[in-house]
Amino acid sequence: MSLRALRVLPMVCLLAAAGAPARAQQKGRTAASEESLLLGLSKLNLGTISGLEEKRQFLTTVQLEKQKIQQHMLEGVYENALDLYRHGKYEQAQELAGKILAIDPDFQDARLVMQASGQLQGAPRGRGAEKTAMEDRFAAALALYREGHLVEAVRKWEEVVKLSPANMKAAYWLKKARGEMVDEYIARGDKASAEKNLRGALDQWYNAILISKNDPRLVAKISRAENDLRHQEAMRSLQRALTLYGEGNLADSYTALKGVLEFEPGDYKAQKMFGEIRYEIAGRYIGDGKKAYASRLYTQAISSWNRAKEWGYDAGYVGQLVARAREQMRREEEDRKRETERTRREAAEALERQKKEQEESAKKEIQTQLGDQSAVQLPANTPPAISTENKSAALQRYQNGIKYYQDGDYEKARVEWQLAKQLDPGNLDVDAGLRRLDQMLGAGQ
């Protein structure tokens, strides 16, 4: 409902109050009906509204309820305006009808009261002016009728009967014209049906039944035509489904068959073909999943197999396929982790080997620079044997000294070699390194 409609609801309440001349019994019915509408709105139980769609549905429901209340109240106000008109209070009736039209411009009955009141406003009091106006409307309707304009004539006589319910002549001609309209609609429908135009026939017969709701002729005709039309639509959909199936378009063929079953739920041929196409579509998804699995596209394979299950393929078999794919994914993930760990370990080992090779190369370079000192003879008074632990510690100190020597930090190299000398006095490499330092830095430094 528009914001304007929401704003005018309070005005409607005031308009209802303005129509006080309405009968007390009618007012009681109106109040009770309004109360029931309001209670129905207050009892809406939608729970906690969180989603956007739920909020939209709630607002739509509220708007529909407000529209019902507004329409009901406007109808009550219209009855008041009509009552004022029938009592000769044309100015008040016109004013009240105008306010109704300000809220709902499409309220045709209110427009009728407003126009009729406007024509009679200012006329002498009494029934003479109103009677003359009704006779003019009746005459206009009769002229339309004689010219063959039944719809327009009926509309005019309806206006007369609404404004003057006691006008028996208008009521008679209205009934007569309506009967002729019903006969005309039935005849047009019969002609369209004979021409195999079932939709056209139904349109005419439905127009007739709106006028004559209980006409037994119409119920049988409409029922038969609806059945025939459903059968025609089912046959067209079935033919289209067969064509699409022949072209290999399974999805659209399946949709067409759904249309057949909507029109003819008991069609055995359509049901059988429907099931076969559904199974074939599911089989295609199974095949697509196996191709993806062979290409190690496991997620894609699982998605295809789940689609196959949605199309009715055996859920147990699909579950086995999905489980196998997930297990293969797990195994390959473990293989990738192991391969990553092996690559990391090999890289660390290679780095360690490179480090040792560099140290050996540096050691050989120093030995080359210092000359071959390995031939020095041990003195007769050879010191006692050094423990394995000291030899190992001395070797480590010696290697540390080589690093410092290569970096140009000769003082730290001297410290390391002197410590190595203390641990292993017979290490000729240490002696050679110290002599080289003495030659470079000068004796006594």
pLDDT for res 366: 65
Longest dimension (CA), the chain: 163
**Which of 67-76, 289-298, 365-374 has the least mean pLDDT?**
365-374
pLDDT tens for each residue of 210-243: 887 777 778 888 888 888 777 777 777 777 777 8
Cα 70 from chain centre: 33
Q: How confident is the model at residue 364 (pLDDT cuts 50, 70, 90)?
A: confident
Q: Which residue has the tokens 């019903």?
A: 182
Using left for φ > 0, alpha for ψ between -120 and 50, and beta otherwise, residue 182 falls in alpha
Long-range contacts of 350-359 (CB under 8 A, 24+ apart): 359/399, 359/402
Mean pLDDT (the chain) is 77
* Rounded average pLDDT over 408-432: 88
Q: What would the mean pLDDT of 23-32 be, rounded to a whole number?
A: 46
Q: Output the six-digit token pair for 424.
A: 């292993």
Q: Give CA separation, 31 vs 10, 118, 260, in Å.
A: 15, 30, 49
C-alpha 153: how far from chain center:
51
CA distance 314 to 293: 19
Instruction: Please give the Cα distance from 366 to 325 (Å, whole number).
Output: 61
pLDDT above 80 for 287: yes
Fold observed for domain 1-39+58-122: 1.25.40
Q: In angstroms, rounded to a whole number, what is the distance separating the alpha carbons of residues 435 and 445?
A: 12
Please report the pLDDT score of residue 250 as a whole number: 72
Quote the percentage of the chain above a pLDDT of 90: 8
Return the pLDDT at 185.
87
Rounded distance between C-alpha atoms, residue 93 and residue 181, angstroms: 33
Q: Residue range 331-354: average pLDDT?
A: 85
Where does 87-122 have alpha helices with state H?
90-103, 108-120
* pLDDT at position 320: 92
| Three-state secondary-structure class, residue 399 | helix
Are residues 41 and 65 in contact, defined by beta-carbon separation less than 8 angstroms? Answer: yes
**pLDDT tens digits, one per residue of 377-391:** 445 555 556 788 888
Q: Which of 178-187, 255-264, 290-299 has the highest mean pLDDT?
A: 290-299
Topology at the third CATH level for domain 124-214: 1.25.40
Which position has the higher pLDDT, 218 or 334? 334
Return the CATH number of the domain spanning residue range 232-332. 1.25.40
- Predicted confidence (pLDDT) at residue 24 exceeds the cutoff of 60: no
